[in-house]
């Protein structure tokens, strides 16, 4: 429950930041720079975050990172309420929160396999993503309503308060978040430990292939940062419509997550990942050319469904082939691909949109995503043939 509250608040803030930046700057490139402020700290900090998550108490690490993100949101609320007229404080606080998130995510994902039996991990992964999508589907519409009626400062304040739910939940958790002694005593927080994680990933082709496909697809087919332009200037639906556009992928994701939880373990998981990526790109192309609001919502929902199927299967594959002592480092390396792709893709999308317009940016990105899936189908044999 605490995670649902926190994810909802975080998604409200993400939507509010994009809208706020566009109102302050009226620039597609500025929207792309928000992605850069998220991507650079993740790329710089995630590897060390994974090393730390494999050594220290993961629960205490999450309490620290959640507290930092709470403070960033609270400061952002205060400066906005005071009459913020420049974008740089938003960029700065976004970067600090992203650095904290780079330590938080390896700890969180490494903690989950220790809480459930490995045979139940696919269902646990589905439920975890479902929790995230519930927050994602409720956050943007709430943000859109508050942006239209009050302003971004209240959204930032609500997000700051939402972190309290996760912190309380972590403090009440009875299980220990410490890695086993035998797993930590050999490496510790060191360059050797980092190299050990990199070597494992490099020598495991199935992990390299899932990460690479994820990075390429999300780098080229990232349209979330351009939704303020679509809502305000193309579809003409305003802040409330913007909130619905932001929630549409989550609606499709929830449906897909429920279906996958119901079906259990799918056959031909590797091939399903590739097909899902191709479907994601095709739906993104359709969204890019749409000028009808309900069709745009439907296509964004389709992207969310395809992305969820791919994410659940990729996460399951990686966690099942990775030893527990390396899960934090593997997760942190994956973060460079999983989060670096879409965040750097937002910079690319903003730059292309600034030069050629938002529709061209979205359509060409979707086409590149489809081509990446076709390439993987022919070249990524380990992934294509994988079956649990």
Q: Output the pLDDT for position 182.
A: 45
pLDDT at residue 77 tops 90: yes
Q: pLDDT band at 250, cuts 50/70/90?
A: confident
Alpha-carbon gap, residue 281 to 181, rounded angstroms: 44
Q: pLDDT band at 242, cuts 50/70/90?
A: very high
Query: Are 222 and 365 within 8 A, CB to CB?
Result: yes
Alpha-carbon gap, residue 327 to 111, rounded angstroms: 9
- Dihedral sign for Cα atoms in the order 85, 86, 87, 92: negative
Query: Are 332 and 121 within 8 A, CB to CB?
Result: no
Cα 12 to chain centroid distance, Å, stands at: 14
Q: pLDDT band at 280, cuts 50/70/90?
A: very high
Residue 348 CA: distances (Å) to CA of 36, 267, 330, 351, 359:
10, 35, 26, 5, 13
Q: Pick the more confident residue, 366 or 106.
A: 366
Query: Are 321 and 207 within 8 A, CB to CB?
Result: yes
Q: Output the pLDDT for position 121.
A: 62
Hey, is 76 helix, strand or coil?
A: helix
Q: Is 182 exposed, middle or buried (0-12, 13-18, 19+ CB in 10 A)?
A: exposed
Q: Is 264 exposed, middle or buried (0-12, 13-18, 19+ CB in 10 A)?
A: exposed
Q: Output the pLDDT for position 125.
A: 65
Minimum mean pLDDT range among 13-22, 233-242, 308-317: 308-317
* pLDDT, tens digit (0-9, with 9 covering 90-100), for 295-344: 999 999 999 999 988 888 887 788 778 887 777 777 777 777 777 788 78
* pLDDT, tens digit (0-9, with 9 covering 90-100), for 88-113: 999 999 999 999 998 998 888 777 66
357 Cβ neighbours under 8 A, 6+ residues apart: none
292 Cβ neighbours under 8 A, 6+ residues apart: none
Q: Pick the more confident residue, 171 or 230.
A: 230
Q: For the chain, which domains are there? A: 2-174+188-385 (1.20.1250.20)
Phi, psi at 56, each rounded to 5°: -95, 175
Q: pLDDT band at 279, cuts 50/70/90?
A: very high
Q: Output the pLDDT for position 88.
A: 93
Residue 248 CA: distances (Å) to CA of 5, 185, 193, 251:
19, 46, 41, 5
pTM more than 0.85: no
Q: Number of C-alpha atoms within 13 angstroms, CB side, residue 26?
A: 1
Q: Output the pLDDT for position 184.
A: 47
Place of tokens 């399903």: 272
């Amino acid at each position: 429950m605490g995670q649902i509250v926190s994810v909802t608040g975080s998604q409200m803030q993400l939507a509010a930041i994009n809208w706020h930046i566009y109102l302050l700057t009226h620039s597609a490139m500025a929207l792309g720079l928000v992605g850069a402020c998220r991507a650079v700290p993740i790329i710089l900090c995630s590897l060390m975050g994974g090393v730390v998550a494999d050594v220290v108490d993961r629960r205490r690490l999450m309490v620290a990172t959640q507290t930092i993100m709470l403070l960033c949101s609270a400061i952002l609320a205060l400066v906005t309420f005071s009459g913020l007229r420049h974008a740089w404080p938003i960029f700065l606080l976004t970067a600090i929160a992203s650095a904290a998130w780079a330590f938080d995510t390896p700890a969180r994902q490494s903690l989950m396999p220790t809480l459930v039996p490995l045979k139940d991990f696919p269902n646990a992964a589905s439920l975890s993503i479902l929790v995230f999508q519930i927050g994602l589907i409720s956050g943007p519409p709430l943000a859109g309503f508050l942006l239209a009626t009050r302003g971004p400062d209240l959204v930032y304040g609500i997000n700051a308060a939402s972190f309290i739910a996760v912190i309380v939940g972590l403090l009440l958790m009875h299980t220990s978040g410490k890695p086993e002694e035998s797993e930590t005593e050999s490496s510790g927080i060191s360059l050797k430990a980092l190299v050990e994680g990199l070597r494992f990933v490099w020598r495991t082709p199935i992990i390299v292939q899932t990460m690479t496909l994820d990075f390429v697809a999300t780098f080229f087919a990232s349209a979330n940062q351009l939704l303020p332009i679509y809502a305000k200037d193309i579809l003409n639906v305003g802040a409330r419509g913007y909130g619905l556009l932001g929630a549409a992928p989550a609606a499709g994701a929830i449906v897909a997550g429920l279906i996958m939880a119901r079906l259990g373990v799918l056959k031909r998981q590797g091939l399903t990942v590739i097909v899902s990526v191709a479907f994601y790109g095709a739906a993104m192309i359709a969204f890019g050319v749409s000028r009808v609001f309900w069709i745009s919502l439907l296509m964004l929902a389709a992207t969310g469904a395809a992305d969820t199927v791919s994410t659940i299967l990729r996460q399951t594959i990686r966690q099942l082939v990775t030893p527990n002592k390396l899960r934090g480092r593997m997760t942190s390396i994956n973060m460079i691909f999983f989060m670096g792709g879409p965040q750097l893709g937002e910079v690319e999308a903003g730059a292309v949109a600034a030069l050629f317009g938002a529709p061209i940016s979205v359509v060409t990105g979707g086409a590149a995503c489809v081509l990446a899936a076709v390439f993987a189908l022919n070249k990524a044999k380990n992934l294509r043939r994988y079956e649990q």
